[in-house]
Structure 1
Amino acid sequence: MSSTGKPEAAPAVDAVPIEDASLTAFYGSMTTTERRTFWACAAGWALDGMDFMIYPLVIGTIISLWKVDPGTAGLAATVTLLASALGGWIAGFVADRIGRVLTLQITILWFSFFSLVCAFVQNFEQLLVARALLGLGFGGEWAAGAVLMGETIRAQYRGRAVGSVQSGWAVGWGMAVLAQAVLFSYLPPETAWRWMFVIGAFPALLVFYLRRYVEEPKVAAETRARARAAGEQAKLWEIFSGPLLRTTILASLAAAGCQGGYYAITTWLPRYLTTERGLSIVSSTGYLSALIVGSFVGYLVGAWLADRLGRRPLFLIFSLGAIAVILVYTQVPLSNAVLWVLGFPLGFFASGYFSGMGAFLTELYPTRLRGSGQGFCYNFGRGLGALFPALVGYLASSVGLASAIAIFAAGAYGVFFLAAFALPETRGKVLHVDG
């Protein structure tokens, strides 16, 4: 602890000093390559967020139209996340073999195509299959994009740059909510939900920009060239051996906790507002907007804190904040007006820690295993976190939706806190060519 009482992390080994930790300092000092990669990944995260958040927004319509019980409806979100865990691990491994940029292009095209397929399904079983296939690309896009950003941006700016890109998720979430408000205002529900998934195919357009402007990180390209020359290729299971085993276990638990809590909240909050709080789909937009604005600000503040205080202090502060706010939001009898105000801090704490995750996982692994390690840990976390939407849905039938959300979200953030506490600080770590 520092003299001010704030957590102070020890600097990472082989770390560069961060002289100017202001939020916007990094952008003016970016090279052309860094800036192009920054905007490409920011757009990717925004479209990724829009695509994923479409299903939670139409889950109530699916339940009504196809007479699906809440637990089964939550299973579609769970299946998407489980598939994304596998897709992220595979994509991370492939990115170590064929490159970050090419893998990113492939995964974007994949999940865009299957979002379009979701618009034409005829029953819940078909939707379940389409969402599972979409999940493979959804998980892969994060794995490839996060490594690409982490390796392209210099160490002294990495936390803020990668964290600022993460704020694109809130922008995409806002785009999905806006699309819902417009489409459900002018179209009948049985048609509007299909057009939501059509919009989810738009990320495919980003591939044209990636192909023209975004370059492969030099540290990754040189490491692959040296590995090919030496006849040594990274093995899929190397992240489970030697001193990396402990890192992989703890990082996977941290990723599971932070994502499990997030998905428990965001999957079911729209449903909570329209059922237990008595709001219509359109009138709930304002409440979700407060949550999204809080999320966006949380991402930016989290990006700043990742370089200002360090990755671990960011995770510890925000996990405790998320536990406190979700318990008040769901367990204290509040008016709808107060609930609307609480949407901001809920979004702030339940999202802001993600700003540090991409840079943190990048810095935990050597270059030749970075895609595999980062892809596995984050998406293993998605796999475990994927259980939470379905579990919340099933438990809601006995304890109520508000209590079910609180139980699983608070438990998940507790795991996140403990795992983050046990991991090392990596702020400012310099990435090297292996070999």
Structure 2
Amino acid sequence: MSNNPFKSMDSLKLTFNHIKIWYTAGMGFFTDAYDLLVISYILATFIDAYKYYGMSVPGFTNYLVGPNSDFWIGLLASSAIITAILGQLIFGFLGDKLGRKSVYGVEASLLTIGALLSAFAWNLPSLIFFRSIMGLGIGGDYPISATIMSEYANVKDRGKLIALVFSNQALGSLAALAVGVISVSILPPDIAWRVMAGLGAIPAATVIYLRRKVPETPRYSLLVKGNIEEAKKAAKFLGTGIEVNSNVRSGIKGVSEFLSTYLPVLIGTAGTWFILDIAFYGTGIYSSSALAPVFGNPFPSHPTALSLSEFQSDLAKALFIGGVPFLVGFPGYFAAVALLDKLGRKWIQLQGFIAMAIIYAVVSSVMIVNGTKVEGFSIPPTLAFIIYSLSYFFIDFGPNTTTFVIPAEVYPTKFRTTGHGISAASGKIGAAITTYLFPSLIATIGIKEILIMLAILSVIGGIITYAFVPEPKMKPLEEASREKIEVSQ
């Protein structure tokens, strides 16, 4: 783009302040992943403590093992996901309306408050309420952090930097696994779950101040607010300037023009994220069923009152087994970080969906089932598990990373956080549907049929990617987003 005022920012080498913005944005995603994963460990602690240790935690256990247990388990597991949808839409809208800086730090504060209060919940409804507050913060983090990183990044490293923000999820997942296993190993169940919940507040709390100090992005300052001095000051934060001597504004006029121009792109970014999260959260829910034939269940086959030390050992082992697929997926995030700016976002997303479809189809074809129950595999169980776990690698080295990166690049400045927020909310709607429906689907149609369904959905994800998702690799942000820039004297 010949009249692009951000050329010097685009051609800048990686600076310390790029890394500072990455850390400031990334700690939110560390917390997001930690808090969304740790709830499954908290649930297991409550339920297994009752079944195998005979402990009933007042205010909690009666909800989770009573006649309405399915309702309460579903609500606790999905409460943060449901409010995250609201957070993504609300913060996405406000980020474009009020500016990125004006709301940045609010979502980290909500994350911190929600996680901290969760540790002091007195019963299950209060825990659900506090996690709902946290969910608003989780949702708000997506569009704002992704956009701030994309609008400050240089062209050469933009994909890598946005993906690095997201890859903090990998570290957060590992932290949740480590904290969960250690907590239940050394603490009684009624204290262990509170430690797991409360520690989630720390990473988000470390960046609230830093987020409030990040200047408004040069692109928003110039193209939306029309404030040349603020834009120059923000560019100076990176040690460079912007080339502008006249009033430069975003040429896109309103919502109708945005939708008429960007609807196909919105179908691409929102549709693929919706499909990805059905697979990502779905496989997370029933991974224990796929792992059981390989590792076995560490608990006794019939509920019995174990001693505290026996129970702690078995629960720690059970939590670790449940986290194994996340360990397999871990390198996938960083493979994406390393290759996004070389191979391109679209290619990585496409091959990820194709690999997922093949893996789900293969694993379902080797399953031996009796009704809805998995009785074994027609190949060695360890081999079946290795193939199944590879799906986690290709989810992360594929659409789990790219669906976050692409919406931060392909929408114009005036609607960038809105476009990202709608896309992310579409993903979380897929996650919420999965969290509610998959447990009953496992009981009615079984895992084999679910895997076939996921294989078909992955193929559809690949088709939508091919047809509707643009390739932003190595393009200035204004070119990747087809930004209309108007110059007035």
2:35 counterpart residue number: 51
The AA in structure 2 aligned to 1:103 is V
Q: Identity across aligned pairs (percent)?
A: 22
Report the structure number with the largest CA radius of gyration.
2
2:325 counterpart residue number: 291
Q: Deviations over 1:31-66 (max 9, x none)?
A: 232121122223222222112211122233344532
Residue among 375, 390, 414 paired with 1:345:
390
Q: How many angstroms does 1:234 deviate by?
A: 8.7
2:108 counterpart residue number: 108
2:422 counterpart residue number: 376
Q: How many angstroms does 1:363 deviate by?
A: 2.0
Q: How many angstroms does 1:85 deviate by?
A: 1.5
For 1:127 and 1:301, locate their aligned partners in 2 and report how far apart those are by CA, in whole Å: 36
For 1:220 and 1:162, locate their aligned partners in 2 and report how far apart those are by CA, in whole Å: 18
The AA in structure 2 aligned to 1:208 is Y
For 1:108 and 1:314, locate their aligned partners in 2 and report how far apart those are by CA, in whole Å: 30
Residue among 399, 402, 405 paired with 1:356:
402
The AA in structure 2 aligned to 1:357 is T
For 1:398 and 1:340, locate their aligned partners in 2 and report how far apart those are by CA, in whole Å: 23
1:426 counterpart residue number: 472
Please give the residue correspondences for 1:57-206 in structure 2 after superposition, counting only pairs within 5 Å: 57-63=41-47, 65=61, 66-67=64-65, 69-70=69-70, 72-202=72-202, 203-206=204-207
2:351 counterpart residue number: 317
Residue among 282, 297, 300 paired with 1:278:
297
Q: How many angstroms does 1:408 deviate by?
A: 5.6
For 1:61 and 1:236, locate their aligned partners in 2 and report how far apart those are by CA, in whole Å: 50
Q: Deviations over 1:163-182 (max 9, x none)?
A: 23322111100000000001
Q: How many angstroms does 1:323 deviate by?
A: 2.9
Contact 2:181 2:320 in 1 (8 A): no
SS at match of 2:392: helix
Q: Per the alignment, do residues 102 and 185 of structure 1 end up closer, same or farther by CA in structure 2, a change over 3 Å counting?
A: farther
Q: CA RMSD in A?
A: 3.3
For 1:295 and 1:63, locate their aligned partners in 2 and report how far apart those are by CA, in whole Å: 27
Q: Deviations over 1:101-158 (max 9, x none)?
A: 4423100110221122323334433333333332211111111111111111112211
For 2:359 and 2:47, locate their aligned partners in 1 and report how far apart those are by CA, in whole Å: 28
Q: Per the alignment, do residues 178 and 346 of structure 1 end up closer, same or farther by CA in structure 2, a change over 3 Å counting?
A: same
Q: Per the alignment, do residues 91 and 227 of structure 1 end up closer, same or farther by CA in structure 2, a change over 3 Å counting?
A: farther
The AA in structure 1 aligned to 2:333 is Y
Q: Which moved more, 1:35-44 or 1:359-368?
A: 35-44
For 1:301 and 1:125, locate their aligned partners in 2 and report how far apart those are by CA, in whole Å: 40
For 1:208 and 1:367, locate their aligned partners in 2 and report how far apart those are by CA, in whole Å: 25
Task: Give 5+ residue unaligned stretches, structure 2.
Answer: 5-9, 49-60, 229-246, 299-313, 368-375
For 1:42 and 1:58, locate their aligned partners in 2 and report how far apart those are by CA, in whole Å: 24
SS at match of 2:315: coil
Q: How many angstroms does 1:327 deviate by?
A: 4.9
Q: Deviations over 1:171-210 (max 9, x none)?
A: 1000000000011111222332222111121122221233
SS at match of 1:226: coil
The AA in structure 2 aligned to 1:278 is N
- Please give the TM-score of this superposition, normalised by the length of structure 2: 0.74
For 1:327 and 1:84, locate their aligned partners in 2 and report how far apart those are by CA, in whole Å: 31
For 1:236 and 1:404, locate their aligned partners in 2 and report how far apart those are by CA, in whole Å: 45
For 1:407 and 1:238, locate their aligned partners in 2 and report how far apart those are by CA, in whole Å: 39
SS at match of 1:242: helix
For 2:199 and 2:257, locate their aligned partners in 1 and report how far apart those are by CA, in whole Å: 37
Larger RCO (CA under 8 A, 6+ residues apart):
1
Q: How many angstroms does 1:328 deviate by?
A: 4.9
Residue among 245, 252, 255 paired with 2:263:
245
Contact 1:56 1:270 in 2 (8 A): no
Q: How many angstroms does 1:238 deviate by?
A: 4.7
